C-alpha cells in the first residue's frame, strides 16, 4: 500500500459527522477542528488509505450523502449511515484502482502447476479489496437490522 493518508470520520455527538482525509495524525486534525466548535469532537472511525485514493473516496461519499450534507464535508446522519457510505466509497475506490484481472485460458488436460509455475499468493491489494468488500457487507447487514429489528 502506498504511504500517505488516513481516512477519518469525526462526530460532534449531535448527529453531525465530518468525513475527511489527512496526511498527519487524526488526533491533530481533531484538535485543529475543535477550535471554534462548540461541541466536543471525537473520532469514530479511521483507517490508513493510499494517498491517491483519498479524493476518489471523498467524491463518492459526497455523492452518496449529498441529501444529508450540512456544509462541505459535514453531514447530518446517524453513524451507521455515514460509516456505510464510507465503507462503500472505500470499496468503490479500491475497485477502480484494482489491476485488471487476467483473462482465463481454456482448460487444459495437463496437471495443475506446482512450484514456480503455481499461482502466487494473493497480493496485499487483493486482500485489502476483499476486506473492504466484507466491511461493506457488514455495514449493510447492520443497517438492515437497525431499520427492521423485528424481521
For residue range 29-83, list pLDDT tens digits in order: 999 999 988 999 999 999 999 999 999 999 999 999 999 999 989 999 999 999 9
Q: How far is residue 15 CA from its own chain's centroid?
A: 20
Q: On the CB side of 31, how many CA atoms lie within 13 Å of its CA?
A: 5
Cα R_g (the chain), whole angstroms:
19
Out of 3-7, 27-31, 119-123, 140-144, which region has the weakest mean confidence (pLDDT)? 140-144
Ordered by start, the domain boundaries in the chain are 4-98+124-147
Mean pLDDT of all residues belonging to the chain: 81
Q: Distance between CA 29 and CA 75 in Å, rounded?
A: 17
pTM of the predicted structure, to 2 decimals: 0.65
Amino acid at each position: 500500500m502506498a504511504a500517505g493518508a488516513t481516512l477519518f470520520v469525526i462526530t460532534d455527538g449531535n448527529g453531525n459527522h465530518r468525513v475527511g482525509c489527512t496526511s498527519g495524525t487524526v488526533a491533530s486534525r481533531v484538535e485543529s477542528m475543535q477550535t471554534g466548535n462548540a461541541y466536543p469532537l471525537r473520532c469514530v472511525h479511521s483507517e490508513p488509505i493510499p494517498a491517491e485514493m483519498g479524493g476518489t473516496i471523498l467524491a463518492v461519499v459526497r455523492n452518496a450523502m449529498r441529501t444529508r450534507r450540512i456544509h462541505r464535508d459535514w453531514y447530518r446522519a446517524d453513524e451507521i449511515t455515514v460509516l456505510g457510505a464510507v465503507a462503500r466509497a472505500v470499496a468503490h475506490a479500491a475497485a477502480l484502482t484494482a489491476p485488471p484481472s487476467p483473462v482465463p485460458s481454456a482448460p487444459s488436460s495437463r496437471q495443475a502447476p506446482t512450484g514456480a509455475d503455481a499461482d502466487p499468493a494473493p497480493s496485499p491489494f487483493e486482500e485489502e479489496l476483499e476486506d473492504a468488500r466484507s466491511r461493506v457487507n457488514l455495514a449493510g447487514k447492520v443497517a438492515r437490522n437497525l431499520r427492521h429489528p423485528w424481521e
